[in-house]
Structure 1
Amino acid sequence: MMPNIYKNIDNSPLILFRILFGFLVAAESFGAILTGWVKSVFIETHFTFTFIGFEWLEVLHGDIMYLYFIVMGILGILIMLGAKYRFAIILFTILWAAVYLAQKTSYNNHYYLLMVISFYMCFLPANQYKSFDAKWHPEIKSDVMPYWVSLVFIIQISIVYFFAAIAKFYPDWMDGTFAKNLLVGSSDIPFIKNIFSKEWFYLFIAYAGILFDLLIVPFLLIKKTRTIAFIASLIFHIFNSITLQIGIFPFFAIGFILFFYEPEIIRRMFFKKKKAVLFETTSLKHKNILQLILIPVLIIQLILPLRHHFIKGDVLVTEEGHRLSWRMMLRAKSGYIRFKIVDNDTKKETSYYYNKNLTYKQVNALSTKPDFIWQYCQRIKSEYKGKNISIFIECKNAINQKPYRTLIDPKQDFAVAKWDYFFHNDWVVLR
């Protein structure tokens, strides 16, 4: 029998998640300043590689970005406290989405997840308990929320884990190649490095990663295995946090577990003074938000990770369909690139010195990602505006320390090359 998704349940999981979410938002925002991330991405760079179509977001550049991230940190605190919550979460979502789309050199899946969850939180009644809003406006105070609120979070994290698991089913993951390369390079301590280089260990990590991603949600859904799954999640994510240093994502992922436990358990543990919900009632108050906004977004979340199957070539090589697909920590790429400018009037050939206006990290991305190459060629064209030039590229990539192979068609003139937003670009060499 299908549960009534519109029934009211105790809102303790959502309230506690809001508090954790706000804290993580503040930690991410202030941490980006303190760790030098803002400086390296938005201050020291001459420009950013935006998502194609969002070039106008390059205005997010320079020292003003320190203030920008401070504002986001303050908004995180307001979210945590439930103070002017609706204003704070909507403004943060807009500001964070702009940051996400304004640069992709430091692309990270948890940046994308943070944007998606922020969007959901704009529509959820997360400030109706343990918030300044509820204190200032007692009429909004409530102990309940629709059951579908928990389902939205459960479905979203299920999508993340499922597609992360499916993406790992490729040779270099299955034979431990990527896990070995990743782990050995993550520590300079001889003892730890020695353990990480053992075949039994990196194979264990590789297959444990697949099994965790595939089984964590089913085990959390089953009451008898829920606590075991919770402990396994703590171990898995804390290990990743220490060895891979991937920011707030491990703690963010742990936070979703709140929605798998019975709300009454969360209430007794964290909100002991809160009254228990004794009677099950049905409310259609937020039905339109679910049906017209959240369900369509979840459907899009299911479609995006599938799109690379409809694009020619191996996504590991071409990168086409890689982003927004939960393809997390799958491969390491290195590359070599050379730009050749041909003056079509004089036939003179010159090499273009791209290091003059790119950071080390941008150079690495430029040599391995076709969309970066195409975007950079647009900048070269604008630099040579008014001149009849052709741009040719020599570019080779190595995946997971394998032999270098040609990535870009050396015969393609990038002065006239087009970008296909949805399908394969013919100047990316297939393997």
Structure 2
Amino acid sequence: MMNKLLFKHIDNSALIVFRIIFGALIFLESIGAIFTGWIRRTLVEPEFTFNFIGFDFLQTIQGEWMYIHYVIMGICGLFVMVGYKYRISMLTFTLLWATTYFMQKSSYNNHYYFLMILSAIMVFLPANTYASIDVKQNPSIKSISMPNWCRLVFILQLFILYSYASIAKMYPDWLDLTVPELLMKSKKHYFLVGNVLQQKFVHYLVAYGGILFDGLIIPLLLWKRTRKVAFFASIFFHLFNSFIFQVGIFPYLSLAFAVFFFEPKVIQKLFLKRKPLYSEEKIEIPSHATIFKSLFVLYFAIQIALPLRQHFIQDNVLWTEEGHRLSWRMMLRSKSANTSFSIVDKATQVKTQVKLEDYLTKKQIRSVSSKPDVMWQFAQRLKSVYAEKGMDIEVYVKAYVNVNGRPSKPFIDSKVDLANEKWSPFKHHDWILPSNLD
């Protein structure tokens, strides 16, 4: 049964078309980061970046060279699009994008994470076996079919992403419109539509439309009777997100996935009219099938497990942020904070207030004000900076945070020296004060 599910060959038109679109999108993402100033603000101007904990070595490549880094990614995108040195180009892009992802958290969002794992998946797919320069240079790799797992991997990944995104929205502050209202309030300045976005019906559309779309879109696309309606709903949903929330290539990437839900004949007729349509449905079991099946199951087990870890960590993830990343929790809360850092020289016991702007950009200050792991990292940074001056210091934080418009509450135990605390990615840290969130 599993052999048939994974290794039955199907027409590969969808994968070929997706490769072309994907290559174009990652090219635009890479070059766009240069011309919009994102690289300058995020990876060049800061003295250091808040990398994922454990990836401190990536600090060594921060700076002006990141422009070259992104140019190379853009070139890889073009090569993927035309199918030139596909696997090398795709692998190179994946490694460079993963480097960017792990070296900074100030601009973190789930879309960057999704692009990283999607790029890694694309490395292993036979996406260059038709309509590619690779085929012209090596006709022996030409093929009009692919194993069914090449389609299934996208469907399962999207189902996990959207399902968790839908479930995460089912909490009081989303259901009573608190969060949608706050999100739309931040868009009040938008030309023409700003006032429309403040209307109650828009908040209901965002709140309940978001839950329904995320929860139902994959089943509706899979069912032939509802596929076209679901696709047109996707167009509206993703273009709305693109315009209102400005989330880069993700909305267009999401629309591109539609090619895996329509019948191969439809995709072939629309985009690859000269390509023969494969219809034999042969089952070709590779010699490494057992290993492949084990890795396939393990990968998706991890994808299912990662978003669940928040339920095994004390307190509310909206408050602690512990278990937030890698969990498809998208635009679920609004936070503001009033935070200050102070250092104490252990030798003299002299206490000094830290001027955050001397070390951090405005964007980094927003992160360090409300995210515990970033606070901890900044404390380690201060300890390192002062150690170079021959001083051994303690670092204390006073923070008052509000979540979703609630009154501000103390966030961090101001008596704990964060410079000498350890960080654990899978457990609660007691220096984060209780939330008392409903």
TM-score band by shorter chain is over 0.9
Residue 287 of structure 1 corresponds to 289
Tell me the distance in 2 between the aligned counterparts of 1:130 and 1:140.
11
Give 2:432's aligned residue: 428
**1:95-118: per-residue Cα shift (whole Å, max 9, x none)?**
111110001100011111111011
- Letter matched to residue 332 of structure 2: L
Secondary structure of the structure 2 residue equivalent to 1:257: helix
Query: Match for residue 160 of structure 2?
Result: 159
Secondary structure at the counterpart of residue 415 of structure 1:
helix
Residue aligned with 2:195, SS: helix
- Between 1:343-352 and 1:418-427, the stretch displaced more is 343-352
Which residue does the alignment assign to 2:379?
377
Which residue does the alignment assign to 1:393?
A: 397
Residue ranges of structure 2 left out of the alignment (5+ in a row): none
Q: Which has the larger displacement, 219-228 or 392-401?
A: 392-401
**RMSD (CA atoms):** 1.5
2:219 partner amino acid = P
Structure 1: unaligned runs, 5 residues or longer: none
- Report the Cα offset of residue 130 of structure 1: 0.5
* 2:333 match: 331
Residue 66 of structure 1 and its aligned partner are, at CA, apart by: 0.7
Name the SS of the counterpart of 1:163 in structure 2. Answer: helix
- Aligned partner of 1:412: which letter? V
Task: Determine the structure 1 residue equivalent to 2:419.
Answer: 415
C-alpha contact 1:183 1:197 (8 A) present in aligned 2: yes
Give yes or no for contact 1:175–1:203 (8 Å, CA) kept in 2: no
Aligned to 1:360: 362
- Residue 319 (structure 2) aligned to one of 317, 327, 339: 317
Please name the residue that 1:343 is paired with. 345
Aligned counterpart, 1:43: 44
In 1, Cα distance between the equivalents of 2:238 and 2:338?
34
Q: Is the 8 A contact 1:82 1:133 kept in 2?
A: yes
Residues 341 and 189 (structure 1 numbering): CA distance in 2 closer, same or farther, change over 3 Å? closer
Secondary structure of the residue aligned to 2:193 is helix
Q: 1:358 to 1:158 in 2, by over 3 A?
A: same
Tell me the secondary structure at the aligned position of residue 49 of structure 2.
Answer: coil
Query: Who is 2:271 aligned against?
Result: 270
Equivalent runs, 1:208-247 vs 2, <5 Å: 208-247=209-248
Q: Distance in 2 between matches of 1:161 and 1:43?
A: 34
| Normalised TM-score (structure 2) | 0.95
Question: C-alpha separation between the residues in 2 aligned to 1:295 and 1:25?
Answer: 28
Q: Over residues 156-206 of structure 1, what are the superposed CA-to-partner deviations in whole Å (9 max), with x where a residue is unaligned?
A: 000110000111111111111111111121242475232222223212221
Q: Once the 2 structures are TM-superposed, how far is the Cα of residue 5 of structure 1 from its aligned partner?
A: 2.9
Secondary structure of the structure 2 residue equivalent to 1:403: coil
Cα separation, 2, equivalents of 1:363 and 1:409: 19
The equivalent residue for 2:409 is: 405
Mapped to 2, the partners of 1:38 and 1:293 lie a distance apart of: 35
CA distance in structure 2 between the aligned counterparts of 1:80 and 1:229, rounded to whole angstroms: 27
Taking a change above 3 Å as real, the CA distance of residues 278 and 190 of structure 1, as seen in their structure-2 partners, is: closer
Distance, in Å, in 2 between the alignment partners of 1:54 and 1:278 is 47
Distance 2:366 2:45 in 1: 16
Greater shift in the superposed pair: 47-56 or 166-175? 166-175
Structure 2 SS opposite 1:394: strand
Offset of residue 292 of structure 1? 4.3
Aligned-pair CA distance for 1:390: 2.1
* % identical aligned pairs: 47
CA deviation after TM superposition for structure 1 residue 262, in Å = 1.6
Are the counterparts in 1 of residues 13 and 268 from structure 2 also a CA contact under 8 Å? yes
More displaced stretch, 330-339 vs 318-327: 330-339
Superposition deviation, residue 229 in structure 1: 0.3
Q: Which amino acid aligns with 1:328?
A: M
Match of 2:129 in 1: 128
In the alignment, the residues of structure 2 paired with residue 4 and residue 295 of structure 1 have an alpha-carbon distance, to the nearest angstrom, of 13
8 Å contact 2:345–2:392 — kept in the other structure?
yes
Deviation at 1:263, TM superposition (A): 1.4
Residue range with higher mean Cα deviation, 2-11 or 125-134: 2-11
The residue that corresponds to 1:204 in the other structure is 205
Q: Distance in 2 between matches of 1:75 and 1:5?
A: 29
Which shifted more, 174-183 or 192-201? 192-201
> 2:11, 2:279 within 8 Å by CA — same for their partners in 1?
no
How many pairs does the alignment contain?
431
CA separation of 1:215 and 1:357: change in aligned 2, threshold 3 A: same
Q: Which moved more, 1:364-373 or 1:273-282?
A: 273-282
The amino acid of 2:89's aligned partner reads A
Looking at structure 1, the residues matched to 14 and 291 of structure 2 have their Cα atoms a distance apart, in angstroms, of: 19
| Contact 2:383 2:392 (8 Å CA) reproduced | no
Q: Distance in 1 between matches of 2:279 and 2:212?
A: 38
Name the SS of the counterpart of 1:53 in structure 2: coil
> Aligned partners of 1:308 and 1:179: how far apart in 2?
23
The answer to whether the 8 A contact 1:123-1:289 is kept is no
Q: What residue number does 2:9 align with?
A: 8
The AA in structure 1 aligned to 2:90 is: I
CA contact (8 A) 2:376 2:419 kept: no
Q: Alpha-carbon deviations, 1:237-277, whole Å to 9, x = none?
A: 00110111110010111111211112122111111111122
Distance in structure 1 (CA, Å) of the matches to 2:421 and 2:369: 17
